[in-house]
DNA sequence: ACAAAAGTGTTTGGAATACACCCATGC
DNA sequence: GCATGGGTGTATTCCAAACACTTTTGT
């Protein structure tokens, strides 16, 4: 019996899903890469991803492959773009649907899966040249992230439940690659009403301890309902 | 010899591309639909689209199918979203990459292709229930269009080379489904510098004739280069 | 005491909004 | 002359940006 047992009247491209996972470590934005253990591009770094099965959507595939290849689970991913250049995979015609997410690195322990020699967070400045067309995919994902964070308060999910204003500012500066005026940043964020100041201060800091804040989820859902206008 | 001559080790979803074409007719925004001539959903209205070939990208496929099924060519399309729900096509597993574009209806003559009984522009208010998951796709496309038009001066391409301020306002109001103050709309648009007033007036109007304008492409490319901030 | 980082408020300029009267044209 | 819709400017409000001094804490 032949091993190619799935037969179609017309040829079909293979379909994959890839995950571009941005991770904030409290200081920098990182990107999650796996080192390929098999050809093509064996030894090169790439985004986790793999072939879509018949019983799963591309989104489910992305989540499954992410888990299999890196150990990460429970991530909310969002569709980024579909890449379908004819020659993007040297083996054969492969179309990939790319997803992205933003997480905090400390929430996950990385475990390399079967097809991957290695899994690692890379600082954005230190990203090596990637397999396939993943350099292109990365640029597009990074731009999307920059756009998204200005209009949606996703930033808060990257910090601990209690966090400080300087931490939040660092996060935004790290993603957007710009600097904010500390006073204006504070004014604007406090004016949203989404941050509740606590009567606690950060511990174990070398100098004056900043106040802790928490994200006000109740206020956020109110804002969402009443036609929402968050913007940094 | 068997007709299913393309054999793969693992099963593959079929891959299609669909086109959501918005058309402005000077008064309303319309959407281009074809009436299906074959099962499934024979007789129902749907977006033009079809199966991706091995020698074309999904974008090229969308453009080709659009031409084959409606006669329309030379359209700049933009990727919208990829739909991969397992049951979105009753025949078998089909993943579709949706593209959208905004054109003026008067630029094109519609010609129904082989698989389509009929091609027609529908006013947004008059859209019938659609085949497959195309209702969902339409909602997503419409929201994307609303978002896009506020940040990119795509509106000008929908009018004649010479147009009037009231026409432009009508266009924006029609897409965004809101009303603008006539004076403020005028002030804001003129302040962009993208509109050059001509020494001509609209002809054959029942009342006071508005002045004609044209879009200043040179100014627009300057703006694009110098980090661009168009917003309505 | 000093070094490091946090906390805070005011002023200014520009953009968005609200708003009303006069003008041209066809009938 | 009247009905329809076009053309235009100003006052106000709000938001964004620029900007500096004082306070806390560890060493």
Length B196 CA → D10 C1' (Å): 24
Across B88-111, average pLDDT: 95
pLDDT range class, residue A78, cuts 50, 70, 90? very high
Q: Say which residue, B113 or B56, is predicted with more confidence.
A: B56
pLDDT at B2 over 70: no
pLDDT range class, residue A140, cuts 50, 70, 90? very high
Q: Do A11 and B9 touch (CB under 8 A)?
A: no
Least reliable range by pLDDT among A113-122, A172-181, B65-74: A113-122
pLDDT the model gives residue A77: 96
Q: CB of residue A182 closer than 7 A to nucleic acid strand C? A: yes
State the Cα–Cα distance between residues B199 and B214, nearest whole angstrom: 11
* Mean pLDDT, chain A, whole residue set: 92
pLDDT the model gives residue A19: 98
Q: CB of residue A171 closer than 7 A to nucleic acid strand C? A: no
Q: Do A84 and B10 touch (CB under 8 A)?
A: no
pLDDT at A9 over 80: yes
**What are the tokens at A23?**
């991770």
pLDDT at B57 over 60: yes
B209: β partners: none
pLDDT range class, residue A130, cuts 50, 70, 90? very high
pLDDT range class, residue B17, cuts 50, 70, 90? very high
pLDDT at A228 over 80: no
Residues A7/B7, Cβ–Cβ less than 8 Å: yes
pLDDT the model gives residue B229: 67
State the Cα–Cα distance between residues B179 and B168, nearest whole angstrom: 12
pLDDT the model gives residue A151: 83
Q: In chain A, whose CA is at the least distance from the CA of B9?
A: A4
Across A204-212, average pLDDT: 92
B85: Cα separation from own chain's centroid = 23
Q: Do A9 and B14 touch (CB under 8 A)?
A: no
Q: Say which residue, B231 or B217, is predicted with more confidence.
A: B217
Across B42-57, average pLDDT: 97
pLDDT range class, residue A227, cuts 50, 70, 90? low
pLDDT at B136 over 70: yes
Least reliable range by pLDDT among A24-33, A68-77, A107-116, B89-98: A107-116
**What are the tokens at A43?**
């030894």
Cβ-based contacts (< 7 Å) between A 193-222 and strand D: 201, 205-209
pLDDT the model gives residue B74: 93
pLDDT at B85 over 80: yes
Q: What is the pTM (predicted TM-score) of this model?
A: 0.91
Across B35-51, average pLDDT: 94
Q: Say which residue, B156 or A91, is predicted with more confidence.
A: A91
Residues of B in contact with A55 (CB under 8 A): 86
Q: Any idea of the CA torsion for A199, A203, A207, A209, to the nearest 10 degrees?
A: -10
Q: Any idea of the CA torsion for A87, A89, A92, A94, to the nearest 10 degrees?
A: -90
pLDDT at A161 over 60: yes
Percentage of residues in chain A with pLDDT exceeding 90?
A: 74
Least reliable range by pLDDT among A113-117, B36-40, B71-75, B139-143: A113-117
Residues of B in contact with A8 (CB under 8 A): 4, 6, 8, 12, 14
pLDDT the model gives residue B114: 75
Distance from CA of B74 to the nearest CA of A (A): 20
Least reliable range by pLDDT among A102-111, A146-155, B104-113, B209-218: A146-155
pLDDT the model gives residue A198: 95
* Long-range Cβ contact pairs of A205-213 (< 8 A, separation 24 or more): A210/A164, A210/A165, A210/A166, A211/A164, A211/A165, A212/A162, A212/A163, A212/A164, A213/A162, A213/A163, A213/A164, A213/A165, A213/A168
pLDDT the model gives residue B213: 96
Length B208 CA → C22 C1' (Å): 13
Q: Do A13 and B54 touch (CB under 8 A)?
A: yes
* Mean pLDDT, chain B, whole residue set: 92
CA B216 to each of CA A97, B197, B230: distance values in angstroms, whole numbers, following the listed order: 37, 10, 14
Q: Say which residue, A3 or A136, is predicted with more confidence.
A: A136
């Amino acid at each position: 019996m032949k091993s190619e047992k799935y037969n179609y009247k017309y040829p079909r491209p293979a379909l994959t899903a890839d995950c571009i996972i941005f991770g904030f470590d409290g200081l920098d934005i990182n990107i999650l890469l796996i080192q390929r253990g098999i050809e093509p591009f064996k030894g090169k770094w790439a985004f986790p991803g793999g072939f879509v099965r018949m019983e799963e959507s591309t989104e489910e595939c992305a989540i499954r492959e992410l888990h299999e290849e890196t150990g990460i689970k429970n991530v909310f991913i969002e569709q980024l773009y579909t890449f379908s250049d004819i020659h993007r995979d040297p083996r054969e015609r492969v179309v990939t649907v790319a997803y992205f997410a933003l997480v905090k690195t400390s929430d996950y322990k990385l475990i390399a899966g079967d097809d991957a020699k290695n899994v690692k967070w890379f600082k954005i400045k230190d990203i090596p040249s990637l397999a396939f067309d993943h350099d292109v995919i990365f640029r597009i994902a990074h731009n999307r992230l920059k756009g998204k964070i200005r209009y949606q308060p996703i930033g808060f999910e990257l910090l601990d439940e209690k966090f400080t204003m300087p931490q939040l500012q660092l996060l935004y500066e790290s993603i957007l690659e710009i600097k904010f005026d500390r006073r204006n940043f504070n004014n604007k964020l406090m004016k949203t009403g989404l941050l509740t100041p606590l009567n606690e201060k950060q511990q174990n800091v070398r100098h004056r301890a900043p106040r802790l804040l928490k994200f006000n989820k109740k206020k956020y859902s109110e804002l969402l309902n009443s036609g929402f206008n968050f913007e940094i």
